[in-house]
Amino acid sequence: MAKYRLDRPGIFKDREERNNFNVALLGFKMAVNDSLTVYNLADGVVDEFHSEDGTDEAEGSNDTYCASNDNYINQVTGSPVSYSGAVGATGENTESDTFTTNIASGSPNYNSGTAGVYTVPTGTTAINIYAFGAGGGGTDDNPGEWPDGGGGGYANGTLAVTAGQTLVTFVGRGGGGAQPNNGPYGGWSGGGWGNPEGGGGGGITGVFAGYSSSPQAVANAKGIMTAPQAVVIAGAGGGAGTLGESSDGGAGGGLVGLTDAGNAQTSVEPGPMTNEGGGGGSQTTGGTAWSGPQEHGGGGLFYGGPDGPDPEGEIFAGGGAGYYGGGRGRGGPGATEYGGGGGGSSYYGHPQVTSGATTAGSSTTPASGGESTPLYSAANFPGFEGQPGPVPGGSINIGDGGGNKADGIPGALLITATGVPLSTSSTTIVSNAFTASSAPSTSRIVVFQENVDSITLNTDLIASVSRDGGSNFSTVTLTDEGYTVGSSGQRILSGTVDISGQPSGTSMRWKLALANNASKVHGVSLAWN
């Protein structure tokens, strides 16, 4: 049962005004409790808006009635509108009202960047996410046999959302190619490092929900995001080793990241040290780094191994980041050949994601797993990295692994949605005529109103009363009397007006004019004397 405030001292001019106000509230309470549409009093009427029976639809305008919530609202629903936004590693986008912020810095700052934010458009209940993983960096070897970084994986899914919800976005940079002078770095964010001649792993591409802090403060997904916040993630490719084409970096997953082409967790030839490719990340754990302990370069949640330079000076290739990242490929002191890093896993297991799927990239022809989707087009990703466009057969493609000492190609992110926009309308709600026993001189109105937007009383919501059937109206100055219950929800707005200057009559009507900002009206009580 709803509670209503009665007899508030200091608000009313006299006892008669207070009594009329209390009668109006009691009438409204009875109407609510008995589910009455219109409740007639001896000198007044209460309409709790259980239907449109108490209002004159011919006299009103844009008076949208919500039968499920028993209210009128000054909002109109538009036609469905499609939204899309695509972001590559340099931050270009096609929908500025849904995507904001640059995603990542350009070369040579492989492992620096900034998380982005996606704001769900008005009227949208679900979005489609298409994530393209970044490629791993390449190395050099014999001419025509240089190992390539692994191609990035691909993941997609449909996420249930609410309008105005914000999601954090990451678009991975490609892993650095083998360049002793620059690392090579793992790609932002979370790509495993190569050292000193192996390729770096690509960084994470994905969407996260439920992150409360500013996304601009996020430097790296590792240690900041948690598994429940992951929505859709595309695994990145691992960096290349130095065993020719047999040590291309492992591609990003699929639900499981791939190992390098020929050296997964095995010794490939006699030598001072075993030379092994890194394992791919799975849905539950990071990829392993050779046969030693994980701290020697295994992948983890959102990052590929190793997480930074190796102080022991071993030669290795970095694992690709992912839901769980790939492990490093390894070669010890004195080794001349070693395996590539493992690829990171992709992910779509968030409980509000439906229609999820993944496609692994390629380790032997290091191409992104997303190159086969129709959404992979220059139209969706214009001007990608200053190249002609990320179309198959072009000079570069999203998420391809790097060749001869070349950096891996960054990933990309595409989000699409269909929403039904809402706009505020100028609305007039007019009651039916109610007959008074004699021509009244004053009238008191009580309006039960709820904010959608913040409104200015007596500007965005104006009340008026007529005693001659609506030919003339007198404006009421409304006062906010507080909430019906607690400190939020429906408010009680009331005011008294002198109607004696109108032509004499007994046909009583009230009118509400709503404009500028959206507001809900749950009921009106009108009394006269």
For 475-504, the pLDDT digits (tens) are 999 999 888 888 888 898 989 999 999 999
What confidence score (pLDDT) does residue 103 get? 42
- State mean pLDDT over 196-209: 87
Count Cβ atoms within 10 A of the Cβ of residue 503 and give its class: 0-12 exposed, 13-18 middle, 19 or more buried. Answer: exposed
Is the CB of residue 162 less than 8 Å from the CB of residue 432? Answer: no
**How do strand 154-160 and strand 353-359 relate by DSSP bridges?**
antiparallel
Q: Which residue would you say has higher pLDDT here, 265 or 457?
A: 457
What confidence score (pLDDT) does residue 314 get? 66
Q: How many helices (H) and strands (E) does the chain have?
A: 1, 27
Q: What are phi and psi of 153, to 5 degrees?
A: -80, 180
For 1-20, the pLDDT digits (tens) are 333 333 334 444 555 555 55
Structure tokens at 302: 């959102």
Average pLDDT, the chain: 78
Taking alpha carbons only, the member of 422, 419, 354, 353 closest to residue 124 is: 419
List, in order of start, the domains of the chain with CATH numbers. 15-77+424-528 (2.60.120), 79-420 (no CATH)
Q: What are phi and psi of 401, to 5 degrees?
A: -75, 150
Taking residue 311's Cβ as centre, other Cβ atoms within 10 Å add up to 7
The pLDDT confidence band at residue 509, using thresholds 50, 70 and 90, is very high
The model carries a pTM of: 0.71
